[in-house]
Structure 1
């Protein structure tokens, strides 16, 4: 027999009721699960969605993005014709002698961008934008201009913190979680390219852990195809919620213009530097007291890994946090606080952005077992007084600033290899004798004329009684070279 209409109705009601019960929260009043951020990433489904605009995000963030003008005064002596050495020509033309005219002062300027990150007018920008600046001014999007003070400069991260001299509160943008970015996420780059005024470009995240870029010591960047051009440096990279996910810092270009390969310093690193500015104005990074190396295919095969991953511990220094935590040579560190590390650069970024005084956890593979080690985060110790000295006497070291080595000095200069004794060159002045000889910051002076150099005081004493011949033993990148020069 064919079912009646009432039978069909009852059947449909049972199906609907079963569906409703399946969607009903479980007993005990539990709420329905909230969609994850990944579930909210949707491809446009219709024409209306395609016409959606980024204007609300720009209106929210643009007032917090500023132009940064940095200037410095440079004194130049311009060489003139040797004819002016003749007294007759000097008297006739009224020019001073000596082959040079009077010193002339010239003002060099640079232009970049910055982001206001707090209502009191704290601005974060790139170090290279304000390097060697005597004066810094910032221009807001509403055309107001203010002088700014330099609070902190950190060349190793290429970041700097400024403070606007003006009455707040200022429009500002909040940091977002740069670790939550995924390849394909839409981002906006806001800055002042070529000095034409505030400009917004749009693109996607091309990569989230790009290393080997060669811009900072901590090479861990967000790569984007949003157009970034000269002048964008220090500007904002924001997500679709208007949060600051990065500080635009560099482009890969042979022509000087954007080729769709731009790099931004992650907000996690920028926040770390900004917090350092709030706590004494000096960046203090935690000291591990160990060295690591990349895991290539050959090492991965030797360790019976399914793929290259993590970093291999090659040395652990006595009395270091690494030794105290139980880290050993040949350990494989695969994650820091649950964040995967794939090479020494990503490992350095994950560890260096931790705050002093806390602890961090390393996930380590040892003898085919995964273990967790808790590392205390404390600064590198200054085991020996640095006794900084400027070498002014005529010698191959004239124009250098030297220090006694210690873990603290090695960390500041970015030296690797666990060398914590001797004398290190911290600075070399351009055009000096040391510069002409080829000495560089980071070089370690091991010996002079077969005499071992242990302190800056010893080195200075030798330069005050120069010999006829200089024999220098200089360590660079773990290799000692001998240089022979005439006195």
Structure 2
């Protein structure tokens, strides 16, 4: 599988002061305590495991990948020698199998796992802890969060399931258990601690905002449960940071609050529609903080506010620094997007921002991104370098759908057909077409007219991420 999977190891240590006296880690009103003696160290996690383990399952997926034969063997002359199956060593189909873990999150048989565990699967089977097997139906698979929702039919039986915890309640140092099926050895339970929260820039999903744990993650454990000691689901184990492929004790789990958003979208019967802020920005670096007279780097500096969007209607402007969303600190664009993506649609969310050295509070509406302008999506053909590219008007809704992080305007390449002229010329999905032969491109229809003129040479400028690239073709 493309991603690494998950198994967790013990990561809790005792802290002692002079002469072996235990250090106090308890503050007034805090129920968390450090173990104070041998008796407490010998306490068992078994009651939590008995409650949680039956809700963790194995997920097996099977995909039949069709392979093209050498065209030589499609010749009737050669088929006279090798038959309809073709020559030895020239298989027409190859079966790919994948092993992962999953979590039952509803008594009726709703199962959550990772998108990469079931990606492209033709058949999915779920095996319960008691070894019963069920064929699973894929309800929703969301590549951007690396989550997938499956449904099995237990025939009216109420299955054991895990309740979702508010993952924002977690604190660094909390004990957690991981349950899954690493390397296919069977259900395995290991323990660790929460090593970090709100981890971003991990490069796993578009909504990169993870619980970090000192647990090792290995093949087969992806999609397994990260469980708190009250037996509730804190997150879905998904990946590790590693340079060699082996565990170095830096594992990541998708927070339960993002899991809840995907489950709600699946329950509604449609695709996951995430709220839209209508603003983008960058993290405040030490240089930016110094230039703006801030005592330390904090927040997200807005450098784009869409007119008429929720942020603009709430009064936010370019140059404002967003400090908190719903009382939670944000320090980079990923954490800002996560906070809005997990907000309750239809209501408002409080936002704290900094302007001219003063803090201000405002309520921002939690709304879906608009389909404005209409996308007018179409596949280009003809005699020009963009033949084989599928293009569309870039609206906030389309930007959200394809994971486009820049300003939602212009014409974007949604995908390119394999082997097409556009692909061979180096154009990629996500490229925004800026101009053709010096003429600015604002929408699909004007672009079609430009391309219809034909002829060489071609000079096409695109924006790819932070780069502006120009292709000169012919002439």
Name the TM tier (shorter chain).
0.7 to 0.9
Q: What does 1:252-271 align with in structure 2 at a 5 Å threshold? A: 252-271=241-260
The structure 1 residue matched to 2:183, chosen from 194, 199, 215, is 194
Is the CA contact 1:188–1:200 (under 8 Å) kept in the aligned structure 2? yes
Is the CA contact 2:200–2:209 (under 8 Å) kept in the aligned structure 1? yes
Partner residue, 1:171? 160
Shift of 1:129: 1.2
Q: 1:248 to 1:90 in 2, by over 3 A?
A: closer
Structure with greater Cα Rg? 1
Is the CA contact 1:175–1:271 (under 8 Å) kept in the aligned structure 2? yes
SS of 1:117 mapped into structure 2: strand
Partner residue, 1:42? 33
Within the alignment, does 1:361 sit opposite 2:350 as a pair?
yes
Q: 1:332 to 1:159 in 2, by over 3 A?
A: same
Gapped runs of 5+ residues in structure 1?
A: 1-34
SS of 1:272 mapped into structure 2: helix
Q: TM-score, normalised by structure 1?
A: 0.84
SS of 1:381 mapped into structure 2: coil
Distance 1:174 1:86 in 2: 61
Shift of 1:246: 0.7
The structure 2 residue matched to 1:420, chosen from 393, 405, 409, is 409
Distance 1:348 1:405 in 2: 19
Partner residue, 1:207? 196
Shift of 1:127: 1.2
Partner residue, 2:294? 305
Partner residue, 1:61? 52
**Post-superposition CA distance 1:208-234 (Å, at most 9, x none):** 121110001112111111222121111
Between 1 and 2, higher relative CO (CA 8 Å, sep ≥ 6) is seen in 2
Q: What does 1:25-104 align with in structure 2 at a 5 Å threshold? A: 39-79=30-70, 93-94=81-82, 104=92
Is the CA contact 1:151–1:281 (under 8 Å) kept in the aligned structure 2? no
Is the CA contact 1:67–1:112 (under 8 Å) kept in the aligned structure 2? yes
Is the CA contact 1:84–1:95 (under 8 Å) kept in the aligned structure 2? no
Partner residue, 1:286? 275
Is the CA contact 2:108–2:153 (under 8 Å) kept in the aligned structure 1? no
The structure 2 residue matched to 1:324, chosen from 309, 313, 336, is 313
Shift of 1:442: 0.7
Is the CA contact 1:63–1:142 (under 8 Å) kept in the aligned structure 2? yes
**Post-superposition CA distance 1:347-396 (Å, at most 9, x none):** 22112211221100101222232221110111111112212223455654
Is the CA contact 1:152–1:162 (under 8 Å) kept in the aligned structure 2? yes
**Post-superposition CA distance 1:287-312 (Å, at most 9, x none):** 11112211111222233332211111
Distance 1:103 1:470 in 2: 42
Within the alignment, does 1:477 sit opposite 2:465 as a pair?
yes
Distance 1:376 1:427 in 2: 32
The structure 1 residue matched to 2:360, chosen from 367, 371, 377, is 371
Q: TM-score, normalised by structure 2?
A: 0.86
RMSD, aligned CA: 2.9
The structure 2 residue matched to 1:183, chosen from 167, 172, 189, is 172
Partner residue, 1:148? 136
Distance 1:99 1:142 in 2: 44
SS of 1:330 mapped into structure 2: coil
Q: 1:457 to 1:146 in 2, by over 3 A?
A: farther
* Count of matched residue positions in the alignment of Structure 1 and Structure 2: 449
SS of 2:106 mapped into structure 1: coil
Shift of 1:331: 1.6
